[in-house]
Structure formats: structure tokens, C-alpha cells
Amino acid sequence: MKDNKPNLKSAYALETVQDNLELYANWASNYENDFASSMDYILPNQVAQIFSKMGGKGPVLDVGAGTGLGGVALANLGISPIDAMDLSDAMLNEASKKKVYRHFFTADITQPIKTKNSYQGIISSGTFTHGHVGPSAIDNLLSIAKKGTFFTLSINKNHWLEKGFAQKFDTLTEEIDKLSLHDVDIYGKYSKGDHRNDLGIVTTFWKK
């Protein structure tokens, strides 16, 4: 990792699992003040709104839950129960303080995932941004989903073609149904800095 200082620049530069663990261990307690609030980070709300408007229901797995912003957004829409999954124990510890999650799981989604729970929905906001979380992780999420599970996953628009996400979804026609793409703002009107105009693509689909 080129820069281990906890900030957006260093988050975008992450390359390995260890990079992620180190960064978020140092950032977890200040993440929301240093980043989410100061950057007017609205992506978790965007993902939750789309999930709800398209009929998403609990139980839901929040993948890359971080400090729990997505879980809070879902809970505010009356969606429950919600489980949290993240690579970082430090981030999950912060998420637990939100009191909106049922269970917590530490997992690297770039590797096969083990869970005995069954979900109606799987969401993710901001996870498919970092260097080490590429399109192949979608296979691992599909592997733990039952038929009819509704997915709502955000992907940084800059990575959609560059990192091979568009091509990946082209290969999933036998596994997923009714793929839709929704362009969204990642940051709100009060955001500042080089990334204030960054866009995301929220993918929605059902597992066949």
C-alpha cells in the first residue's frame, strides 16, 4: 500500500487484504467524522433506497458493512433483520454500536464465504471500490445466496469497465435475472475535494 494514512486517497490505493486490515484498524473509530460526514457520503442511503423501492426485504446481509451506515439506512426504511459482514473486526465493532444488526461476520469476500444463514437480500455499498475487491468476489456472494435472493451492489463507476465488472456481468446471464444498472452520486452536495463528483453504478438483480 502506497499510503497508510487513513483517508480517502489511501482507501482508493488499497491493494491487498493486509492493506485493508491495517488501514481500517487505524481508521475505524474516526471513519464517520473523518470521511462520511466531511465528504457528505450518501452512497449507503442511495443503495438502501434502491433496495427498498425495488421490493427488497429482510433478512438482509450487508456486505462490507463498515461502521454500519448501510444498516442504519435500511433500518430507517423499516427493513430487518440485518446481518453485517466485513473484513475488519475494528469496523464491525463500530457497526455494533448502531444497534441495528442481528449478527456479525468477519470475512474476506475475495475468498469462499462460509455462512449458515439464508437471506432474502444482499446489499453492498462502497466495497467494490478498493483495489483488491474485484469482479470475482461476486461469484462468492452468489455462492451463499439462495434462488430468488435480491442483490443491490454498488460499484465505483470508474471501475465498471476498467476493473472488468461490465464483462463479469456479461458472463452471469445463466446465474442472475433482471439485471438493472442505476447511476448514483456517491457524495452529496456538501462534499469537497477531488472525489466530490465521483459516481457509482448500483447493480440490482435476482439470483436464478
For the stretch 66-102, pLDDT in tens is 999 999 999 999 999 999 999 889 889 999 999 999 9
pLDDT (tens digit, 9 = 90+) per residue, 5-58?
Answer: 555 555 555 556 666 656 655 555 566 565 666 678 899 999 999 999 999 999
Cell of 121: 437480500
pLDDT of residue 2: 44
Categorize the per-residue pLDDT at 3 as very low, low, confident or very high, splitting at 50, 70 and 90.
Answer: very low
Q: What is the mean pLDDT of residues 143-157?
A: 96
Instruction: Answer whether residue 1 shows pLDDT above 70.
Output: no
Question: Which DSSP state fits 68?
Answer: S
pTM of the model: 0.86
User: In terms of pLDDT, which residue wins out, 5 or 106?
Assistant: 106
Q: How many angstroms separate the CA atoms of 56 and 79, rounded?
A: 8
Q: How many angstroms separate the CA atoms of 165 and 14, rounded?
A: 18
> Residue ranges of the alpha helices (H) in the chain?
8-12, 17-27, 31, 43-53, 69-76, 89-96, 137-143, 157-162, 165-170
The share of the chain scoring above pLDDT 90, in percent, equals 63
Instruction: Answer whether residue 182 shows pLDDT above 60.
Output: yes
Q: What is the mean pLDDT of residues 114-132?
A: 85
Q: How many angstroms separate the CA atoms of 14 and 121, rounded?
A: 28
3-state secondary structure of 11: helix
Q: What is the mean pLDDT of residues 121-147?
A: 89
Burial of 126 (0-12, 13-18, 19+ CB in 10 A): buried
pLDDT of residue 171: 97
Q: What is the mean pLDDT of residues 198-205?
A: 96
Cell of 82: 440485518
Q: How many angstroms separate the CA atoms of 27 and 12, rounded?
A: 14
List, in order of start, the domains of the chain with CATH numbers. Answer: 40-207 (3.40.50.150)
